[in-house]
Copies of this chain bind each other. A is one copy, B any other.
Amino acid sequence: MSSPTQAPPRALRIGELAARAGTTPRTIRYYEELGLLGGQGDRDAGRHRLYDEEDVERVAHVLRLKELLGLSLEDLQRVVEAETARAALKREWRTTEDITIRHRILDEALAHIAVQLELVERRQVELEDLAESLRARRALVHRRRGELA
């Protein structure tokens, strides 16, 4: 159990955020410029951007979706908006005990996850089709090779 006054989450600077999320500072700045990181993160006195562990998770997840699904930044915008809404719900969760509200929060989280899963599964089908056609070609060549002997 964590103590009531938690250690302040280590503040990450843009270089470390980028490295841990598998990208570059330039990309992070560009996304911020487009409003893709929902509220342009805090700055310290020295005007340096500061991030925390949750940002690492969010950016890494969103970049993974982009890369593996081939999403444009416009597509990504919607995913991020949903992620942001989900984070807001997570906070709302902690402020209420109302079972009806909590039920609604969980259902929305499920819907959000379902949307992403569906995109991923669609891609998986496309990749499996491609793999199948390559294996069919391979089988054909193998057969010919057998006929040679």
Contact of A110 among B70, B102, B110, B141 (CB under 8 A): B141
Known: A106-B145, A148-B102, A148-B106. Contact between A113 and B138, CB under 8 A? Answer: yes
Contact in complex: B130, A113 (CB < 8 Å)? no
Interface flag for A128 (CB, 8 Å)? yes
If over half of A's interface residues share one DSSP class (helix, strand or loop), that class is named, otherwise mixed; here it is helix
Are A117 and B145 in contact, with the CB atoms below 8 A?
A: no
Residue in A99, A121, A134, A142 whose Cβ sees the most chain B Cβ within 10 Å:
A134
Contact residues of A between 117 and 149, Cβ < 8 Å to B: 117, 120-121, 123-124, 126-128, 130-131, 134-135, 137-138, 141-142, 144-145, 148
Extra contacts, 12 of them, besides A110-B142, A110-B145 (Cβ < 8 A), are A68-B123, A68-B130, A103-B145, A103-B148, A106-B144, A106-B145, A110-B141, A113-B138, A117-B138, A120-B127, A123-B127, A127-B127
Q: In the complex, which range does the number of interface residues on chain A fall in?
A: 20 to 34
A109 at the interface (CB under 8 A from B): yes
Q: Is the CB of A134 within 8 A of B148?
A: no
